[in-house]
């Protein structure tokens, strides 16, 4: 690889920063590792315009198309671009060809196409100079579990408490259990009585500053009948007489 001139080096650094942006990096990872469509009709049904996968494909196609324009105008070195950027034209060619037919746009992403076809030729030439990797060894047994080195000593295991003994008392036939736990022979066995709850009222309770008295079995006195009201006396008629002189 030849040495780059300072202007080309600066342009390559800007392109690398643009390719490493979160959106472009996510789009390139999707196309390189997950994209597996072979027909445009299936792709446009499962990934309609506006979807995330459609936008990822479009973002990669636009970036590589701009990259091809810079390469053809000698703004960047062609071999440096092939070494630093993946050009996935072979994976997306059927989809972009179908997009050209549907939109009636024959030269859509033409720089991307020329860059991708030339990238394939460059890669086939470079592949012959690269030493092939050795074949992977065949596994004979079960895969080993992954172990992670501990950064601190493990905590000591807590002792397991022994099980508590059952609190049941053996009752002899024909015997009963005393409150103290002893068995009295000859007494019939009886079920333990349930504890009773007692509610006690305190006469000293106060509510809003007034004392409350607790009455036990208070008898309600019968209401006494009210005395009958005396009939009002009628006004006596005044005797007719001479009117007083004023």
Specify whether the CB–CB gap between 76 and 15 falls below 8 A. yes
CB 84 within 8 A of CB 30: no
Q: What is the pLDDT of residue 215?
A: 45
164-187 pLDDT per residue, tens = 766 554 455 555 445 544 445 555
Whether residue 158 has pLDDT greater than 90:
no
For the chain, give the percent of residues with pLDDT over 90: 47
**pLDDT at residue 152, rounded to an integer:** 63
Asked if 31 contacts 88 with a C-beta cutoff of 8 angstroms, the reply is yes
pTM over 0.75: no
Helix 52-72 to helix 6-19 angle, to the nearest 10 degrees? 170
User: What average pLDDT score do residues 235-246 get?
Assistant: 56
Q: What pLDDT, in 10s, does the model give residues 8-35? A: 899 999 999 999 999 999 999 999 999 9
- Distance between CA 37 and CA 89 in Å, rounded? 13
Tokens of 229: 């009201």
Q: What is the pLDDT of residue 191?
A: 55
Residue 216 has pLDDT above 50, yes or no: no
Neighbours of 118 (CB within 10 A): 17
Instruction: Write a three-state SS string for 7-56.
Output: HHHHHHHHHHHHHCCHHHHHHHHHHHHHCCCCCHHHHHHHCCCCCHHHHH
> In the predicted model, is pLDDT for residue 231 greater than 50?
yes
Question: Who has greater pLDDT, 80 or 243?
Answer: 80
pLDDT for residue 132: 83
What pLDDT band is residue 78 in, cutting at 50, 70 and 90?
very high
Confidence bin at 214 (pLDDT 50/70/90): very low
pLDDT tens-digit readout, 109-120: 999 999 999 999
């Amino acid at each position: 690889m030849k040495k780059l001139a300072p202007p080309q080096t600066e342009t390559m650094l800007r392109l690398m920063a643009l390719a490493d942006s979160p959106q472009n990096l996510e789009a390139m990872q999707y196309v390189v590792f997950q994209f597996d469509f072979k027909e445009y009709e299936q792709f446009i049904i499962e990934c309609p315009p506006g979807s995330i996968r459609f936008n990822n494909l479009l973002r990669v196609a636009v970036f590589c198309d701009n990259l091809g324009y810079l390469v053809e105008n000698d703004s960047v070195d062609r071999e440096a671009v092939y070494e630093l950027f993946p050009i996935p034209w072979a994976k997306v060619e059927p989809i972009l060809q179908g997009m050209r037919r549907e939109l009636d746009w024959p030269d859509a992403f033409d720089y991307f196409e020329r860059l991708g076809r030339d990238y394939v030729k460059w890669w086939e030439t470079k592949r012959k100079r690269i030493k092939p990797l050795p074949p992977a060894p065949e596994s004979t047994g079960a895969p080993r579990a992954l172990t992670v080195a501990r950064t601190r000593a493990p905590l000591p295991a807590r002792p397991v408490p022994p099980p508590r003994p059952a609190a049941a008392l053996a009752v002899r036939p024909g015997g009963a259990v005393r409150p103290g736990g002893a068995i009295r022979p000859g007494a019939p066995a009886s079920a333990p009585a349930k504890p009773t709850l007692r509610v006690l009222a305190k006469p000293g309770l106060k509510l809003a500053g007034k004392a409350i008295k607790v009455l036990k079995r208070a008898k309600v006195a019968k209401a006494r009948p009210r005395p009958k009201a005396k009939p009002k006396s009628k006004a006596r008629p005044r005797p007719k007489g001479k009117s007083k002189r004023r």
